[in-house]
Every structure is written in C-alpha cells, then in structure tokens.
C-alpha cells in the first residue's frame, strides 16, 4: 500500500540552497524512494515571483513522488501541518562578512517563525535549521517555541561532517564511503572542531584508524582542521556565493539519517540541544556525534577526549555561549 505523503517545509525556497534542495526532496533523496511528499515552500514577498517559478519547474519535472506543492509568502500557510521543517530562509553571509554580522538580521526571523511552527506544524514536527548562524538560530527557535520538544530542533553541521570525510578521502586516496565516524564538535563556524581521533577507514583486511593511516600528525592537527573550518569561506571566495548544492545534500543526509536511522556502527554529526555531555555548555545547540534510531537521536557517549581536543571543544563552546548572549541582546 502506498505511504501517506509527508509534508516538508523549506523556508527560503526561492534562494540558492532552496533551488538545489527542493528537487532532491521531490526525488526521494531525503525521505526515501517510496515516500511521497508534499512540498511547502516559503519565501518573502519580494521573492514571490521567483518562488512561483520554482513551483512551475517542480510541476514541469513531473516527479512521481511529489503529491503537491504549496508556494507561499504566508508563514502560517507554509507551516500548517508540516511534519518536517527545513529552515533555510534568512540573510546569507557575503564575502568579507563575519557570521556575527548576519546574527541580528536572522535571529529576529527565527523568533517569529518559531511561533508559527509551534502553532501550526504537525505534532512531533522535526526541525532542521540551516540558515546562519545555524546553531543560534535553532536555539532562538527552540526558546520561542517552548511546546516543541527540544529534541525536535536541530541545526546543520552535517555539511562540515561531510567536508571532513571528503578531506580524509582525498588525503588517503580512498572512497569517501569507506571513511566513517569523523566528528564535528560545537558551532557551525570557524571555531568548529573537526575531530578524526575516532574515525576509521574500511580497508580490504579491516577497519583501520584514520590517524594510523594518515601518519601525519602535523596535517591532522593543522591543515586538515583549518581546511574544514574555513571551507565555507573558501567556497564564498570562489563562487561569490555560499555553498548550495553541498548544503542541500547535507540537509537531505541529516533528515534521512534522523528519520530512517544511522547505519550500525556509524555515527553522524548533528547540532542538538546540549545536555552538557562532554562538558560542552548546556543550553546551547552544540554539534555532537549522534546515532539515530526510531526517529530519535542519541549523543554517542564515552569517547575519550585528549587534551588537544578538550581545548578545541571548550573554545567552540565558549563561542556558542557568547553567541547566545549576543542573540538575546539583538532581540531585546
């Protein structure tokens, strides 16, 4: 029997991530090849015509899984009945801008959209915030939608996770699908800590630690980390636009693993409401290694954190605490 359609909201759908993301969702990349979807696309009035153009293209693509499209500039209509909300709408960082510069523009958007989601989304709606500052926008959304369970509000650090997998795959000249269990700790910013201390590579004989195969601590503790931390800025410099296809693909990976589960023995990175695990600050949205089962994420516990890593976890945690204060000062 055919499954009931799932309603997926994409805010900022007329933007560049939206344009890459909606066809992926309509093709089943996010929720599976047997899962029909109804797309809800939200943007602001100046983008209404472009949004309608995206809707026309979705119709023209004749996606078999796509059972309906709501394209609107009305936030209530956009949020009504949605099971999944991918929040991409906002003001993107331009070349030369720090993430803090976009903070005040974006946190007020997330405060107002929090209420619309709280009042009109389907019960148990899962929320993924992509728009920057992603962790702090997600926190503001959580704070101003108190009836949505905190565990349902997450932010995207899967792009950073995938970037780390990509760098290791290139360095070792192995398939990216054979690399697993990297971790992104903390903020989706240049203070994030991409950690490969627990990562492995599948080889014909066994799974081997990345650190043993790379045999280059200077690269692992230096260039690897900064390349992943600065990748967003490098893409902005190259394209004069921020990453879009990789961000859209990572958003699909994030929701797919959250809803359908992570493979046995594999974890992924998600920005989730911190309970203080690994002595990260509690009460911020912090990226942790998580496994997912039955639609719920769980932070992987018990990993050994060495002194080098400890400092990096603390640094990115301190930035998130400061961002939280700054966000509240922008809202007051």
Structure tokens given for 241: 């636009």
Piece in contact with ligand LMR (CB under 6 A), picked from 138-146, 171-179, 231-239, 280-288: 231-239
Q: Please identify which of the residues 40, 161, 188, 254 carries the catalytic annotation.
A: 188
Select the binding partner of residue 269 from ligand NAD, ligand LMR, none (C-beta < 5 to 8 A, by kind).
Answer: none
> Among this protein's residues, is 161 annotated catalytic?
no
316 touches ligand LMR by CB under 6 A: no
Q: Which of positions 131-170 make contact with ligand LMR (CB under 6 A)?
A: 132, 159
Q: Out of ligand NAD, ligand LMR, none, which partner does residue 323 contact, by CB within 5 to 8 A per kind?
A: none
Answer yes or no: is 276 a known binding residue.
no
Our CB check for ligand NAD shows the closer of 9 and 201 to be 9
Q: Out of ligand LMR, ligand NAD, none, which partner does residue 17 contact, by CB within 5 to 8 A per kind? A: ligand NAD
Interacting positions 81-100 with ligand LMR (CB under 6 A): 93
CB of 105 to ligand LMR, least distance (A): 13
Residue from 242, 249, 287, 309 that binds ligand LMR (CB under 6 A)? Answer: 242
What's the CA gap between 133 and 112, in Å, rounded?
16
Catalogue the active-site residues: 188
Q: Pick out the residues of the known binding site for NAD(+).
A: 12-18, 43, 106, 130-132
């Amino acid at each position: 029997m055919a499954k009931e359609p799932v309603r997926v909201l994409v805010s900022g759908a007329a933007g560049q991530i939206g344009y890459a993301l909606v066809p992926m969702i309509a093709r089943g990349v996010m929720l599976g090849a047997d899962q029909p979807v109804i797309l809800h696309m939200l943007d602001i009035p100046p983008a209404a015509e472009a949004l309608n153009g995206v809707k026309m293209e979705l119709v023209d693509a004749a996606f078999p899984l796509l059972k309906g499209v709501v394209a609107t500039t009305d936030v209530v209509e956009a949020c009504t009945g949605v099971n999944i909300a991918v929040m991409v709408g906002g003001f993107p960082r331009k070349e030369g801008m720090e993430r803090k510069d976009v903070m005040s523009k974006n946190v007020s958007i997330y405060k107002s959209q929090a209420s619309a989601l709280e009042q009109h989304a389907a019960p148990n709606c899962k929320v993924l915030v992509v728009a920057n500052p992603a962790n702090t926008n997600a926190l503001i959304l959580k704070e101003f939608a108190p009836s949505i369970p905190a565990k349902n509000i997450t932010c995207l650090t899967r792009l950073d996770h995938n970037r780390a997998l990509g760098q290791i795959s290139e360095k070792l000249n192995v398939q990216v699908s054979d690399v697993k269990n990297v971790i992104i700790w903390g903020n989706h910013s240049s203070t994030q800590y991409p950690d490969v201390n627990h990562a492995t590579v599948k080889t014909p004989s066994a799974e081997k630690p990345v650190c043993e195969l790379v045999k280059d601590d200077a690269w692992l503790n230096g260039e690897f980390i900064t390349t992943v931390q600065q990748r967003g800025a490098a893409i902005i410099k190259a394209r004069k636009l921020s990453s879009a296809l990789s961000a859209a693909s990572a958003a699909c990976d994030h929701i797919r693993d959250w809803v359908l589960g992570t493979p046995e023995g594999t974890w992924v990175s998600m920005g989730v409401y911190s309970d203080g695990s690994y002595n990260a600050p509690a009460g911020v949205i912090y990226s942790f290694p998580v496994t997912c089962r039955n639609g719920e994420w769980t932070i992987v516990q018990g990993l050994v954190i060495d002194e080098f890593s400890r400092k990096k976890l603390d640094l990115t945690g301190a930035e998130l605490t400061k961002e939280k204060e700054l966000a509240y000062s922008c809202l007051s």
